Amino acid sequence: MLRSALNRLIGMAIVMFLVVTIVFVIVRVTPGDPAAVMLGPDATAEDIASLRERLGLNAPIPVQFLTYFGGILRGDFGQSIFLNIPVTHALWLRAEPTFFLTVFALAIAAAVALPVGVLSAYWRGSAFDQAATMLAMFAASIPSFWLGLIFMQIFAVQLGWFDTSGYGGPGASFAERMHHLVLPAVTLGLISSALITRFTRAAMLDVLNDDYVRTARSKGMSEWRVVVRHAFKNALIPILTVIGLTAALLISGAIVTETVFGLPGVGSLIVSAVLRRDYPVIQGALLVVAGLYVLVNFVIDMLYLLVDPRVRY
Amino acid sequence: MKHYALAFATSIVALMSANGSALAQTAGGVIDVATIGEPPTLDPMASTADLVGIITQHIYETLYTFGADWTVTPLLAADMPTISEDGLTYTIPLRTGVTFHDGSEMTSADVVASLDRWMRIASRGKQTAEVIDGIAATDEATVTITLKSPYAPLLSLLSLNNAAAIIIPEENADQDPLESYVGTGPYRLEERVPDQYIQLVRFEDYASRDGEPNGYGGARLQHLDEIRFVPVPDPNTRIEGAVAGQFAYVDQLPVEAYDRIAGGATEPVVLAPFGWPVFVMNTQEGLNSDLRIRKAIQAALAPEDMMLAAFGSEDFFSIDGAWYPDSYAWHTEVATEPYKPMGDTETAMALLAEAGYDGSPLRILTSRQYEYHYKMAQVAQAYLEAAGFKVQMDVVEWATLTQNRADPALWDIYITHSPFLPEPSLMGIMSDSSPGWWATDAKHAAVEAFNAESDPAKRVELFADVQKVIYEEVPAYKVGNFNALAAQAPNLEGVAPAPWPYFWNAYLGDE
């Protein structure tokens, strides 16, 4: 297992180096100038050139890359051009809403998808199965910004249960801040539940027809025990995979939802950084998201080893 | 029509409440103001962005500002300056007893240091520095500005709230970027959480001017305890926030949301007219370096259809060839004949033939950051093609546009907009170095005469000459006047519709 983990870690390092390089290059070749955005519409060309020089944007690209890469190795992601604070600090300030949004959305997705997927497979072909499959397809097809606006319209505008946007004002308590996450979490959770439902159903269908399930039944075991203790446990590997990938997707997929609900999370930070061409923030945020993605995959791989001893890398 | 009537009524009510009854109100309350995003900086010297000016005008103050009729009025200056006979020396008396948010008292040394910083880092300051010979503190409460040549826009430039000549403590004037957000304004910065809120609280030691509020000038009343600017970049979310009544004030809403907002918990506020959309011509390079081509474009465009496509209803725009609408002193109809509401395709075709147009694509640089820019461009494309142009639409996002417009090789027309600026000299095309690079002898003659004249009445007459040159040389095409839509809580009083909304006179009344 240790060897497998080591192999995986080496692979992760290579992937992260490629991510750093590709993100740096894409950000630099994208047109747009942070200095022009920062100085406003009436800034002169001389002002823009002067600010570019001060921000170090006029140095040759390879020099900028080496400086940036050296900084990363020291844990320094650079300084936000617009916020004038270290990128790591900017990301840390945005971590709370994104973390809890991801956790809540994943919890909602799993709470909806796992029972629906299992029952759908168990009652294959029934009205419940057909309805669940149809709803899952529908949920997978809905853009998150649209569903978010619909929820906003119903629960914030008409019923007044929530604020339409934001994350609480000065001095907002933890509970108040979490209250602002309810609508975005339900939005993201319901959409994410579609994929998990379909994978759960498919994985359960595979195992429900296996010999050991038939054997368990023939031994007079209760259906609940057969389905949950035997079938579901063995179907867990693909389900864990998709839940893990969903978690990683949620971190990056929260971009649209955070923007719609005005949440000051990592997703909205990425959007605003792209619009302002805040290069260090774009690079740092994408690096963190990619890192989390890689990390989640690593954890899933390790979980495979624990859940199924037959798995070897 | 009912829209217009309602909007007009809303504006009038707001104006009356802003100027009339504010003094009678009690202090207290907190308001949330939804803005279009997070400002790139809280240093209004360092940016010309309107959003920066809207927020920071509550924190910092300038020597002068604009009154309700858009004339310059004193703010930190005690009075209007004494101007020497030759127009070269401005002696500015300062108010005494004005304190900064750090408790120190403003003196002429702070003013000189601040104006030096303004000339060093602000784009408008750098522009002004070219005509300034020196700034000196005559005594503790007097500052003298000496000019190389008469320059009438000086006071307007000292009054504007973006790239602004704010007065800050002398010890902070070396900061670039600014790190100590200390001003003399009625509200001080309490906390800024980027992308979440900017919290301003009442500055208890604020020294307001005496008298009544007068636009951005006059008395600045501090009824509210706090003003919180909350960035809500998504326009649909701003609309929902306005309908739900989450905010006391919601800035810059799409005009097509008027009916929805009118049926919600906040009331629509229309600022009519707000500003102009402009097609800026690249006079330096490419197709539009040929005046005949620019004139053909001027003839081909049909502003009525362009504005209708952009704003949906005549309630939200007006067709007007004059660069300033009739509510401004600068309004004049001189030389506006080439502005045809439905275009003049035949004239355009003739001008194009005369220019020997070779079919090269006319590149229109635009963005969907402001959807109405793009819609106007689409209609313009149809009319230009009808006149014989081959049109290439370069649709990019805003950050790219702001970069590309600085390169004369990349575009022939770019689309932008602006609120009506209180001083015509602040218009982009008035500067030779502004993208478009309009610099001709006729322009210089008209603009220099306009800038050198200090008599307001004569300046109005001279602006007619400037407008005439603009129509003759077509450095830009003003499409029309458009209105701005905001939303305001029914119990928020004392807010006058303004291009850069301010809340120091605002108060919370009964629902």
Domain count, chain A: 2
Specify whether B479 is located in the same domain as B493. no
* Token duo for residue B217: 């000038």
CA B24 to each of CA A156, B70, B202, B489: distance values in angstroms, whole numbers, following the listed order: 35, 25, 18, 19
Q: What confidence score (pLDDT) does residue A312 get?
A: 61
Specify whether A77 is located in the same domain as A143. no
Query: What is the pLDDT averaged over residues A66-78?
Result: 87
Higher-pLDDT residue of A45 and A198 is A198
Give the ranges where chain A is alpha helix by DSSP (H). 2-29, 34-39, 45-54, 61-73, 87-122, 127-141, 144-151, 174-179, 182-208, 211-218, 223-225, 233-260, 266-276, 279-307
Distance from CA of B234 to the nearest CA of A (A): 6
Residue B266 included in any domain: no
Q: Which of A291, A241, A235 lies closest to A91 in space, CA to CA?
A: A291
Specify whether B178 is located in the same domain as B306. no
Residue B363 included in any domain: yes
Q: What confidence score (pLDDT) does residue B11 get?
A: 43
Residue B12 included in any domain: no
Specify whether A46 is located in the same domain as A171. no
CA B345 to each of CA B167, B293, B380, B385, B472: distance values in angstroms, whole numbers, following the listed order: 52, 13, 12, 10, 18
Specify whether A128 is located in the same domain as A163. yes
In the 8-state DSSP scheme, what is residue B473?
H
Specify whether B198 is located in the same domain as B329. no
Residue A204 included in any domain: yes
B7-47 pLDDT, tens digit per residue, is: 443 443 344 344 444 445 678 899 999 999 888 889 999 88
pLDDT at B509 over 90: no
Residue A272 included in any domain: no
Q: What confidence score (pLDDT) does residue A82 get?
A: 81
Specify whether B158 is located in the same domain as B65. yes
From A42, A163, A269, residue closest to B195, measured CB to CB: A269
pLDDT at B282 over 90: yes
Q: Does B175 touch chain A (CB under 8 A)?
A: no
Specify whether A126 is located in the same domain as A242. yes
Domain count, chain B: 2
Q: What confidence score (pLDDT) does residue A253 get?
A: 65
Q: Which domain holds residue A179?
A: 96-264
Q: What confidence score (pLDDT) does residue A311 get?
A: 65
Q: What confidence score (pLDDT) does residue A18 get?
A: 92
State what percent of residues in chain B have pLDDT above 90: 78
Specify whether A193 is located in the same domain as A103. yes
Higher-pLDDT residue of B219 and A267 is B219
Specify whether B83 is located in the same domain as B221. yes
| CA distance linking residue B68 with residue B219, whole number of Å | 12
Beta bridge partner(s), residue A86: A79
Specify whether A169 is located in the same domain as A84. no
Specify whether A134 is located in the same domain as A204. yes
Best A157, A167, A181 member to test B by mutation, with max B CBs in 10 Å, is: A157
> Closest chain A residue to B32 measured between Cα atoms?
A169
Specify whether B87 is located in the same domain as B103. yes
Q: Which of A217, A250, A274 lies closest to A82 in space, CA to CA?
A: A274
Parallel, antiparallel, or unpaired: how do β-strands B89-93 and B82-83 relate?
antiparallel
Residue A269 included in any domain: no
Specify whether B405 is located in the same domain as B476. yes
Q: What confidence score (pLDDT) does residue B406 get?
A: 84
Residue B354 included in any domain: yes
Q: For position B498, which CATH number holds?
A: 3.40.190.10
Residue B247 included in any domain: no
State what percent of residues in chain B have pLDDT above 70: 95
Residue B21 included in any domain: no
Highest mean pLDDT among A22-31, A239-248, A270-279, B336-345: B336-345
pLDDT at B77 over 80: yes
| CA distance linking residue B397 with residue B395, whole number of Å | 7
Specify whether A163 is located in the same domain as A282. no
pLDDT at B256 over 80: yes
Residue B23 included in any domain: no
Cis peptide before A62 (omega within 30 of 0): no
> Are B433 and A36 an interchain contact pair (Cβ–Cβ within 8 Å)?
no
Best A37, A165, A261 member to test B by mutation, with max B CBs in 10 Å, is: A165
A175-189 pLDDT, tens digit per residue, is: 999 999 999 999 999
Q: What value does the mean pLDDT of chain A take?
A: 86
* Residue B322 contacts residue B335 (beta carbons within 8 Å): no
pLDDT at A80 over 90: no
Q: What confidence score (pLDDT) does residue A57 get?
A: 78
Best A164, A255, A257 member to test B by mutation, with max B CBs in 10 Å, is: A164
What is the Cβ-side half-sphere exposure of residue A113, based on CA atoms within 13 angstroms?
31
pLDDT at A62 over 90: no
Cis peptide before B273 (omega within 30 of 0): yes
Q: What confidence score (pLDDT) does residue B18 get?
A: 43
- How many beta carbons lie within 10 A of that of residue A170, not counting itself? 14
Specify whether B328 is located in the same domain as B282. yes
Specify whether B332 is located in the same domain as B397. yes
pLDDT at B415 over 90: yes
Q: What confidence score (pLDDT) does residue A77 get?
A: 87
Specify whether B86 is located in the same domain as B158. yes
Specify whether A74 is located in the same domain as A107. no
Query: What is the pLDDT averaged over residues A45-50?
Result: 77
Specify whether B457 is located in the same domain as B310. yes
Q: Which domain holds residue B283?
A: 275-484
Q: For position A131, which CATH number holds?
A: 1.10.3720.10
Residue type, A119: L
Residue type, A144: S
Work out whether the CA dihedral B417, B423, B424, B427 comes out positive or negative: negative
Q: What confidence score (pLDDT) does residue B173 get?
A: 96
Q: What confidence score (pLDDT) does residue A109 get?
A: 93
A224-276 pLDDT, tens digit per residue, is: 888 887 888 888 888 888 888 888 778 766 888 898 898 999 888 888 888 88
Specify whether B315 is located in the same domain as B414. yes
Query: What is the pLDDT averaged over residues B422-441?
Result: 91
Q: For position B292, which CATH number holds?
A: 3.10.105.10
Residue A270 included in any domain: no
Specify whether A190 is located in the same domain as A201. yes
Place of tokens 């689309």: B415
Specify whether A108 is located in the same domain as A184. yes
pLDDT band at B5 (very low <50, low <70, confident <90, very high): very low
| CA distance linking residue B331 with residue B333, whole number of Å | 7
pTM over 0.80: yes
Q: What confidence score (pLDDT) does residue B334 get?
A: 96
> Are A163 and B232 an interchain contact pair (Cβ–Cβ within 8 Å)?
no
| Complex ipTM more than 0.90, yes or no | no
* Residue B336 contacts residue B424 (beta carbons within 8 Å): no
> Are B246 and A165 an interchain contact pair (Cβ–Cβ within 8 Å)?
yes
Residue B202 included in any domain: yes
The least confident of A242-246, B90-94, B457-461 is A242-246
Q: Which residues of B103-113 are buried (b: 16+ CB within 10 A; e: fewer)?
A: eeebbbebbbb
Q: What confidence score (pLDDT) does residue B40 get?
A: 83
Specify whether A204 is located in the same domain as A114. yes
> Are A262 and B237 an interchain contact pair (Cβ–Cβ within 8 Å)?
yes
Q: Does B162 touch chain A (CB under 8 A)?
A: yes
User: What SS3 class is residue B340?
Assistant: coil
B121, B125, B128, B133: CA torsion to nearest 10: -60
Q: What confidence score (pLDDT) does residue B14 get?
A: 42
